[in-house]
Amino acid sequence: MMENRMEISGEKDSVSRRAETAAVPETHLCSTIREILVESERKYGPLDAVRFKQGKGSIAVRSYTQLRHDSESFSCAIRAMLPQGAHVAVTGMTSYPWLAAYLGTVNAGDVAVPLDVSLPAEELCELVDRSDAEALVLDEVRKDVEAIARQRCPKLKYLISMQKPEDDETALSFSGLLKKYEGSFEYEPSPEELCTIMFTSGTTGKSKGVMLTHRNLAENATCLDMKIPSRTVILSVLPIHHAYCLSMDILKGLSLGSVICINDSLLRVARNIKLFAPNMILMVPLMIETMAKKLEDAAGLPPEIVKREVFGEQFHTICSGGAYLDPAYIDLFARYGITILQGYGMTECAPVISTTVSWNIRKESVGQLLPNCEARVVDGELQVRGSSVMQGYYKMPQETAETLVDGWLKTGDLGYVDEEGFVYLTGRRKNLIITKNGENVSPEELENRLGRSRLIQEILVRENAGVIEAEIFPDYEYVKKQGITDIRAALQKEIDNYNKEAAAYKKIYGLKVRETEFEKTPSKKIKRY
């Protein structure tokens, strides 16, 4: 494994200036992940590809050349251990070894299975088994999985630890494998080869293994020219096993010659923004909303001061995806010189369906369809097709047939597309509330309206005993600051104000106050059931 650790804490200002003045790279459509990596290494070889914390206050660096070398060394290791086409599961916190293992697996002609590191051990093992994985690359934080994986996963032949310096009786050393099998790997995957099985983390039902080819992922990441300058510094804060992070942070970032900085904890995002001095961050709406409410506490200060102290003068863009974002937040961040680009997608589309570009923002829309995607509306439901649409669900033919019809993917989302390809969402089909008089109510519409209240941190609207009910987790910090003693009464007042202007069938008649946050998916969506 090639090593090149250095402290660059004094380099941040020069890094950000380079990103701001860098030329916009030519758009190059790639049809395999290997093509992305090889092309990027050719253009940016010795330049930083990945930065991550190494000890207290210092940053370690890996170049594009090192990333290609290390990933190909892992390709050599996997090929020596398993036949081509083998399934390799990867679970752990976002890290350089995770990234090298993933790229090394898919570019060797094998199938990577990214798994949520936060899942209970039993569930993780169940997904390893369901995916037919023969090797599991795992983080040392999951020693509990290491202890039971061989017993629970009969097809598993190898456990590979990302952190162990040497092999032991339970697992092989990732760094040891790179040293043992160091070398280049020249295999050229076909665009139609299966490269990833990515399990959904939906708000309802059993997770499904989405089968994605090289073309699905590579073209989704590279088909749209967003005019992002090369060498843009990106802080990656989302879970790396999630499609949005893997495709847009990692694959698109690599294709642009970006510097990908790894955030080591959601509890340290603010601190790591100061450390890495990013130009942009990908977030989900819940993260943006939480940050926005903190900004409101500084509303009396000059915006340029708040921007400099919180984000840094070099910061300019937040990409939002995963759920609907209230347009009011776009206006709020604009006051601080920060552009929010909203997108829409799902794992089954690798994952982006539409996105906003900086020169054509429509706040009520979740962006324009990607060039490789077309859409139609059937009975109010959005359906899409194109080169990003999955091959199906792994070993789930019935579910596949229900979701894919003549190449069209049923998204489950309600909405419409205008003549210019801008997508507008109105809710989820499966979440619709059908009132006693037959009216359809989208709970997301009501949640978005009420969620604007500073008093409300999280909200879920549903039908209960024949009436529409709102279950609310208040912002207890705000409650304390405002000296509110009767939380229920204050929340009821918010609902009463909403009801004054709401249609009769959309009125909320039930209220449940939570003391704890809702359980969420890895993409920070509230689990509804």
- The CATH number linked to 440 is 3.30.300.30
- Tell me, yes or no, whether 338 lies in a domain: no
pTM here? 0.85
Last residue of a domain, one of 215, 231, 260: 215
Overall average pLDDT of the 382-403 stretch: 97
Q: How many whole angstroms from its chain centre is CA 232?
A: 18
Residue 60: pLDDT band (50, 70, 90) is very high
For the cut 50, the answer to whether the pLDDT of residue 1 exceeds it is no
- Tell me, yes or no, whether 206 lies in a domain: yes
Overall average pLDDT of the 88-106 stretch: 97
Total structural domains within the chain:
2
Overall average pLDDT of the 328-353 stretch: 94
Q: What is the pLDDT of residues 100-150, one digit of tens each?
A: 999 999 999 999 999 999 889 999 999 999 999 999 999 988 989 988 998
Highest mean pLDDT among 12-21, 281-290, 310-319: 310-319
Q: What is the Cβ-side half-sphere exposure of residue 264, based on CA atoms within 13 angstroms?
A: 15
3-state secondary structure of 48: strand
* Residue span of the structural domain in which 492 resides: 432-513
- Tell me, yes or no, whether 342 lies in a domain: no
* Cα 48 from Cα 279, distance rounded (Å): 15
- Tell me, yes or no, whether 479 lies in a domain: yes
Overall average pLDDT of the 301-315 stretch: 93
3-state secondary structure of 320: strand
Calculate helix-pair angle for 33-44, 64-81, nearest 10 degrees.
140
- Tell me, yes or no, whether 181 lies in a domain: yes
Last residue of a domain, one of 173, 191, 215: 215
Q: How many whole angstroms from its chain centre is CA 262?
A: 13
Q: Tell me, what's the pLDDT at 518?
A: 93
For the cut 80, the answer to whether the pLDDT of residue 5 exceeds it is no
- Tell me, yes or no, whether 474 lies in a domain: yes
* Cα 195 from Cα 369, distance rounded (Å): 24
- Tell me, yes or no, whether 195 lies in a domain: yes
- Tell me, yes or no, whether 410 lies in a domain: no
Find the length of the chain: 529
**Average model confidence (pLDDT) across the chain:** 90
Q: What is the pLDDT of residues 20-44, one digit of tens each?
A: 335 556 568 999 999 999 999 999 9
Q: Tell me, what's the pLDDT at 503?
A: 85
For the cut 50, the answer to whether the pLDDT of residue 2 exceeds it is no
Overall average pLDDT of the 260-271 stretch: 93
Which domain CATH number covers 90? 3.40.50.980
Last residue of a domain, one of 185, 200, 215: 215
Copy the structure tokens of residue 145: 């999985």
Going from the C-alpha of 286 to that of each of 248, 276, 323, 389, the distances in angstroms are 18, 23, 9, 26
